[in-house]
Structure 1
Amino acid sequence: MRVLLVSPAFHGYARAMAMALGAIGHEVSVHLYDRPVDMRSRVGMRLLHRPPEGGQAVWARAELTVRAIGALRSIRPEAVLVVKGDQFGSDWWEALSESGVPHVTWFYDELRRMRYSAEQLSVVGPIATYSACDVRTLAASGITVTHVPLGFDALADVVDRSHEGISFVGARYPGREATLRRLVAAGVTVKAFGRGWSRRPLDIIRSGQFRHPGVASGPQLDRSESYGLMKASAATLNLHGDQDGFTMRTFEAPGVGAVHICDRQDVAMHYEIGAETLVFSTEEELAEICHRVLADPVWAGSIRERGRKRTLAEHTLVHRMRTLETLWA
Structure 2
Amino acid sequence: MRVLLVSPRFHGYHVAIAAALSARGHDVSTHAYDDHGTVAGRAWHQLRHQLPHKIGAGSHRRLAREQTARAAEVVAQARPQAVVVVKGDTLGRQFWEGLDGLPRVTWLYDEVRRTRWTHERLAGLGPLATYSALDDVDLEAAGLDTRHLPLAYDHRLVPEPRRPRTPDVSFVGARYPTREQVLTVLHEDGVPVRAYGRDWSSHPVDRLRTWRLGTPTLPAARDVTRSEAYEVMAASAATLNLHGDQDGFTMRTFEAAGVGAVELVDRTDVGALYESGAEVLTFADLDELTALCERIVADPAWTEPIRQAARARTLAEHTFDHRAAVLEDAWDTA
- TM range, normalised to the smaller chain? over 0.9
Residues 41-92 of structure 1 show CA distances to partners (whole Å, capped at 9, x for unaligned) of: 95499538949xx985333322211211111111111110000111111122
Structure-2 change in CA distance of 1:174 and 1:295 (3 Å)? same
Aligned equivalents of 1:55 and 1:285: distance in 2? 45
Provide the residue aligned with 1:263 in structure 2.
266
Matches for 1:208-223 after TM superposition, within 5 Å: 208-223=211-226
Aligned equivalents of 1:138 and 1:173: distance in 2? 28
Residues 292-313 of structure 1 show CA distances to partners (whole Å, capped at 9, x for unaligned) of: 1112222201110001000000
Residues 185-213 of structure 1 show CA distances to partners (whole Å, capped at 9, x for unaligned) of: 22211111111111222222322443342
Contact kept? 2:123, 2:144, Cα under 8 Å: yes
Matches for 1:153-172 after TM superposition, within 5 Å: 153-159=154-160, 160-162=162-164, 163-172=166-175
Residues 197-254 of structure 1 show CA distances to partners (whole Å, capped at 9, x for unaligned) of: 1122222232244334222111110000010010001110011131111110000001
Structure-2 change in CA distance of 1:211 and 1:44 (3 Å)? closer
Aligned equivalents of 1:120 and 1:172: distance in 2? 31
Q: What SS class does the counterpart of residue 284 from structure 1 fall into?
A: helix
Contact kept? 2:237, 2:296, Cα under 8 Å: yes
Identity of aligned residues (%): 50
Provide the residue aligned with 2:71 in structure 1.
68
Q: Which moved more, 1:205-214 or 1:253-262?
A: 205-214
Shift of 1:36: 2.4
Alignment counterpart, residue 47 of structure 1, candidates 33, 41, 49: 49
Q: Which moved more, 1:35-44 or 1:312-321?
A: 35-44
Structure-2 change in CA distance of 1:91 and 1:161 (3 Å)? same
Aligned equivalents of 1:317 and 1:174: distance in 2? 30
Alignment counterpart, residue 257 of structure 2, candidates 243, 254, 261: 254
Provide the residue aligned with 1:140 in structure 2.
141
Aligned equivalents of 1:201 and 1:44: distance in 2? 17
Aligned equivalents of 2:41 and 2:304: distance in 1? 51
Structure-2 change in CA distance of 1:289 and 1:66 (3 Å)? same
Contact kept? 2:119, 2:139, Cα under 8 Å: no
Aligned equivalents of 1:45 and 1:306: distance in 2? 47
Shift of 1:40: 8.8
Is 1:102 matched up with 2:106? no
Provide the residue aligned with 1:93 in structure 2.
96
Alignment gaps of 5+ in structure 1: none
Alignment counterpart, residue 191 of structure 1, candidates 191, 194, 213: 194
Query: What's the Cα RMSD here?
Result: 2.1
Shift of 1:118: 3.0
Residues 111-141 of structure 1 show CA distances to partners (whole Å, capped at 9, x for unaligned) of: 1111123332111120000000100110111
Provide the residue aligned with 1:29 in structure 2.
29
Provide the residue aligned with 1:78 in structure 2.
81
Q: Which moved more, 1:139-148 or 1:165-174?
A: 165-174
Aligned equivalents of 1:56 and 1:215: distance in 2? 34
Q: What SS class does the counterpart of residue 5 from structure 2 fall into?
A: strand
Aligned equivalents of 1:79 and 1:115: distance in 2? 24
Letter of the 1:210 partner, please give it.
L
Provide the residue aligned with 1:206 in structure 2.
209
Q: Which moved more, 1:160-169 or 1:245-254?
A: 160-169
Letter of the 2:261 partner, please give it.
A
Give the TM-score, by structure 2 length.
0.91
Shift of 1:156: 0.8
Matches for 1:290-305 after TM superposition, within 5 Å: 290-305=293-308
Structure-2 change in CA distance of 1:63 and 1:210 (3 Å)? closer
Give the TM-score, by structure 1 length.
0.93
Provide the residue aligned with 2:289 in structure 1.
286
Is 1:175 matched up with 2:190? no
List, as ranges, runs of 4+ consecutive aligned residues in structure 1 with deviation greater than 6 Å. Answer: 38-41
Contact kept? 1:158, 1:227, Cα under 8 Å: yes
Aligned equivalents of 2:205 and 2:163: distance in 1? 23
Q: What SS class does the counterpart of residue 96 from structure 1 fall into?
A: coil
Letter of the 2:226 partner, please give it.
R
Alignment counterpart, residue 226 of structure 1, candidates 229, 253, 256: 229
